[in-house]
Structure 1
Amino acid sequence: MIRAAGCVLWRYAEGGGDVVEVAVVHRPKYDDWSWPKGKLKRGETALAGAVREVLEETGMHCEPGPPLPTARYLAAGRPKEVHYWAARATGGTFEPNREVDQLLWLPLEAARSRLTQRRDRELVDALAEVLAEG
């Protein structure tokens, strides 16, 4: 089992108001748009790994919130489990890197259209529910 974790990183859009934007990342190795995530290190908790991956891939610090649905699928024929959290961005600066060459802050519907995998698109609704609950 491949164990991984990540976050649906969100913020309120610049300019005020209550429009929520999420960070989607482009991974050149796979040429896809996804959430920041990655494999856990030995002995690392899923939440610690999720926060570490967000910082490594996006340069963003975050405040993790409620857990979101776990994604389970086959990756190169091996079962993979990715634990996700809603996480509010609290600062930082994106620098393109080997794993992630682009980061876009998008409104929820635009993010849903941009994300490559259906399992990632489903997390847009999960985040919207969490934010609506306050």
Structure 2
Amino acid sequence: MTHPVDVHVGKRIRHRRWLVGMTQQQLAERVGIKFQQIQKYETGANRVSASRLWDIADALDVPVSFFFEGLEATEAEMSEAGHEAMPTTDAVPADILGDKEALDLVRSYYAIPEHQRRRLFELARVLSDVA
């Protein structure tokens, strides 16, 4: 059975990898392991050793502490939901940045020129108020 901390760390690895636009293969090559091992880390199936986490943090350009951020806040939610984050009441997933579609949307949003991005933001705000 996977431990909630291993699942959380794995989600944070995946989250950061997606944010920087890196594939599992690219991360694996930078760390010197097979991409299948990255898959196992990201699902929490395999526990990441301290030295490997150090290497992953270096490859993803974050401090090791990044992988543990938010652990206290989600610990109770994870145990209640069988190690999965529980959805919030306003239909937004608790782990919004753990959702690949959401990260792709954010990445695309910031690729839009600023003046157009502001107009798109206002449109989204109006549409969400109507719904």
Tell me which interval the TM-score lies in, with the shorter structure as reference length.
Answer: under 0.3
**Which protein is bigger by CA-based radius of gyration?**
2
* More helix as a share of residues: 2
Which protein has greater RCO, CA pairs closer than 8 Å, 6+ apart?
1
- TM-score relative to the length of structure 1: 0.25
TM-score normalised by structure 2 residue count: 0.25
